[in-house]
A and B are shown apart, each in its own frame.
Chain A
Amino acid sequence: MQVFNAFMKIMKKKVVISVMYLWVFAIIGIAIAFSDGGTALFEQNSLRICVFDEDNTPESRALCDFLDKDNELVTLENDRDIILDALYYDRVNYVLTIKKGYAEKLAAGNTDDLFESMKMHDSYSTVYMGQILNEYAGTVSAFIAGGNDVVTSVGKAADVLSQDAEVNTASFGEEDNAVLSGNASLFFRYLPYIILGTVMSTLCPVLLKLGKKDIRFRTNCSGLSPGSYMVQLFAASTVFITAVWLVFMVIGAIINGGMYSGTAWLAVLNSFIYTLFSAAMTVFVVSFEPSNLVLTILTQIFTLSTSFLCGIFIQQEFLGDSVLAAARFMPTYWYVRVNRMLAGEEPFDSSLAVTSLLIETAFAAAFAVLAVLVRRAWYGRASAVTA
């Protein structure tokens, strides 16, 4: 039990790192939980906007109407001090000046330098507002260039942009065939990121420590057989990853607002298989004996790239076809597919679910086998007898 105990003692020290990952995750989780079905986080907040229309044409007034739909328009005296005061005391969030010549420029297809704006600080909403204005101007001038008259273009642009916003928030959770609550499906969507991060950033250093050349030599000098050594290491790793996984399942159940039922258990199974994959990936990385720095970088690259490419940070429907084609070669993609079906974002297809789970399992097995092969090659090269 020496190796097992040492594993656990070292793990206790490393767990601080995984706690860090957990904190990040907990904060995301809380933000989701408080944001009503997970949609609010992605919606544009309504702003208090003050517009000074220096152009005063039908086009500029159309823009005011467009802004009025989702925001509150406020009127202020056009005096620098008063405006600054209002911004400071949050009576207004965004002050927009539509410059003279706005309509002419749009008609000429020129969208540069149409506006001036003032805001207190860059929040998500104010930055977003800037983007909306650009997008609006660009769309209007595109419709004008397409041969529409100004009034039609303005109307069409407003339509297009508000549709866009609806699409952005459409597919979160509320469908009838969802077996996980909106919050829980979001939690499970982010889970691969956090599991891979936690397992790699804690298990890797511990395994590396125990397998460090000098320590390995010392261990190999002792009466302990490599068989017994591996068994203890395997047992300890299993206990650890199971514990990590269980913690997340409990959190998931809490977020789901009750125990999983029916097909929702598929999410639990899905995450367990993904945990196994994470462990296999860890063992694979460890077999190259990377330095701490390389390890940190690798962990970041793996967790972030899979998260961005496979539909965790960005929903799969917003990813390009080529990205999705590439993502198919990562188990995370298949994890997300299963999760999407459970969240009602895709019709449920039991054979696709089974296939996805099998593909994830195959990835786990493949990395475990690769790890063994790399280890053999590695020690073979160093001409050591014992591994």
Chain B
Amino acid sequence: MTKELDLRGEVCPYTFVKTKLRLEELDSGQDLTILLDDSAATANVSRSLRNEGHEILDLKAISGEVWRIVVKKA
């Protein structure tokens, strides 16, 4: 089962700080689904994830303002 992290309502840089903390609990190769409600935060988080070597499996707007990132832990 994929883990989910709901970051709607959170602002940068806490969005990434919380993502990072959550990823630490996962094993390498596991997926995490992240929900955000701001495109700038979505871009920031996905960029930071990629900078740290994780793989973005999917990224899309799932409704008006809500963005979903699926990331695979490196």
Note whether A and B form a binding pair.
no
Chain A interface residues toward B at CB < 8 A = none
